[in-house]
Amino acid sequence: MERPLRTAVLGCGARGRAYAEYSLAHPDAFELAAVADPALRGDAFPCGVKASWEEALSLPDPLDAVIIALPDRLHRDACMAALDRGCHVLLEKPVGRTWSECVEIRDAQKKSGRLVLAGYVLRYSPYYRKLRALTASGAIGDLTSIHHLVAISYDKAAHAFCRGSWGREADGTGTLVQKCSHDFDLIDWWTGSRKCLKVSSFGSLVHWRPENRPAGAAAMCADCPPAVRKACPFDAQALYVGSERLRYHFADGSDEAMRAVASSAPYGRCVYACGNDNVDHQVAVMEYEGGLTATLEMESFSKRRARKTVFYGTKGEIEADGETIVLKPFLGPDETFRPGVCGKHGGGDDRMMESFLRFARKATPARAARIFEGMLESLRMAFLAEESRKTGKTVRCGGGGAA
């Protein structure tokens, strides 16, 4: 039997915690050799906790793999350092904040011959695998168009893209690349990696702006008059204490801890006074080789958190609402599928870790380079969509560059 991969988890917030816990639960596959996070106590994990990713990577002990779940701004430096140490890397999305950061990582990956797997968990879940199998099977003939909606939900969007880490465009990649790099990856997969020829995109911040702040609203929800709070769907007390839906973001999801979250910055702030400027909705329209078109819509103001997809083909259509898939051939009866959903990201997290282990053990440098190139190509479309939104022009996708 092969020995487990000696692994460091860098950044142990919501995502890093899931990876560290997976490693501890699968000691035959992963040995949790180091954890780095300044927000954790030194004894939070059996291997101890280092205060920074640099400290964890400078330990003299051998390391096989590094999982990077740091804030986006640290992805590039941490990934370059991990490759420099000769480690395989599981790198959370987005790979880099700009296309040029992605290219730097690609060059370092090629030089090292090591694996860099982007954290596109969704393509590992049974639900998305079923969609891929159905579209690839020819069950609806030749695909003519794909319509994919990412409904972030009003509470999650307020948490992450208004009050939280991804509110300001200058601090990251913009919401589309941050939230939807998964979806560009899925669309690329569903199209059978056909070349995308052109992309156009439109989007704006319509709602969480100072001019929409209700009369009398305070800068912090805790100080807001009760009548104003009651009428506001984004009241922090209601979202963090009165609901379970955002607690998974926090290591301590107790009522007491959530009351503290709701009454302090950043999450207790009025959504109309956060200094945020990222879009709250955006659409990207793409044309592929062979005339296939795809639309990707990202929307903050939905009640349900879901991804919904409709595929049209020359012999039928497929409707998928995030849980149920209905295959509707023009000839013959409809068929319904409900692929089992278990674990985080619809079961995608565990399968991604299994794939990471398998690839890290088996992938040759040439295969590792192909895997990463494939993942970057879909991300390039996301950056090109941003270029289109900002310039107001349709962008031609040839040439290997991006904004």
Peptide bond into 266 cis (omega under 30): yes
Question: Considering Cα of 154, then 159, then 162, then 163, what sign does the dihedral take?
Answer: positive
Q: How far is the CB of 191 from ligand NAD (least distance, A)?
A: 21
- Quick one: 44 or 326, whose CB is closer to ligand NAD? 44
- Quick one: 19 or 272, whose CB is closer to ligand NAD? 19
**Exposed (0-12), middle (13-18) or buried (19+): which is 198, by Cβ within 10 Å?**
middle
Q: How far is the CB of 146 from ligand NAD (least distance, A)?
A: 21
* Contacts to ligand NAD by CB under 6 A: 10-16, 36-39, 52-53, 69-72, 74, 92-93, 119, 121, 165, 345
Q: How far is the CB of 37 from ligand NAD (least distance, A)?
A: 4
Question: Considering Cα of 240, then 241, then 242, then 245, what sign does the dihedral take?
Answer: positive
Cross-strand bridge partners of residue 302: none
Whether the CB-CB separation of 324 and 338 falls below 8 Å is answered with: yes
Residue whose Cβ sits closest to ligand NAD: 13
What are the helix and strand counts (H, E) for the chain?
Answer: 12, 14
- Quick one: 129 or 229, whose CB is closer to ligand NAD? 129
Q: How far is the CB of 364 from ligand NAD (least distance, A)?
A: 26
- Quick one: 15 or 106, whose CB is closer to ligand NAD? 15
**Exposed (0-12), middle (13-18) or buried (19+): which is 50, by Cβ within 10 Å?**
buried
- Quick one: 37 or 101, whose CB is closer to ligand NAD? 37
Q: How far is the CB of 54 from ligand NAD (least distance, A)?
A: 7
Exposure class string for 160-187: b at 16+ Cβ within 10 A, else e: bbbbbbbbebeebbbbbbbbbbbbbbbb
Q: How far is the CB of 277 from ligand NAD (least distance, A)?
A: 18
- Quick one: 12 or 403, whose CB is closer to ligand NAD? 12
- Quick one: 164 or 401, whose CB is closer to ligand NAD? 164
- Quick one: 88 or 93, whose CB is closer to ligand NAD? 93
Q: How far is the CB of 36 from ligand NAD (least distance, A)?
A: 4
CB atoms within 10 A of CB 366: 10
- Who's near 189: CB < 8 A, 6+ residues apart? 123, 132
Whether the CB-CB separation of 352 and 375 falls below 8 Å is answered with: no
Starting at the earlier edge strand, list the strands of the sheet with 88-91. Answer: 30-36, 5-10, 65-68, 88-91, 116-118
Q: How far is the CB of 165 from ligand NAD (least distance, A)?
A: 6
- Quick one: 18 or 236, whose CB is closer to ligand NAD? 18
Q: How far is the CB of 98 from ligand NAD (least distance, A)?
A: 14
- Alpha-carbon span 156 to 259, nearest angstrom: 17
- Quick one: 229 or 351, whose CB is closer to ligand NAD? 351
Q: How far is the CB of 34 from ligand NAD (least distance, A)?
A: 11
**Exposed (0-12), middle (13-18) or buried (19+): which is 12, by Cβ within 10 Å?**
buried
- Who's near 104: CB < 8 A, 6+ residues apart? 76, 80, 96
Q: How far is the CB of 354 from ligand NAD (least distance, A)?
A: 16
Amino acid identity of residue 364, one-letter, is T
- Quick one: 178 or 327, whose CB is closer to ligand NAD? 178
Question: Residue 192 — left, alpha, or beta (φ > 0 → left; ψ -120 to 50 → alpha)?
Answer: left
Q: 3-state DSSP helix/strand/coil percent for the chain, to nearest 5?
A: 40, 20, 40
Contacts of 230-235 with C-beta under 8 Å, sequence gap 24+, read: 233/154, 234/154, 234/155, 234/158, 234/162, 234/271
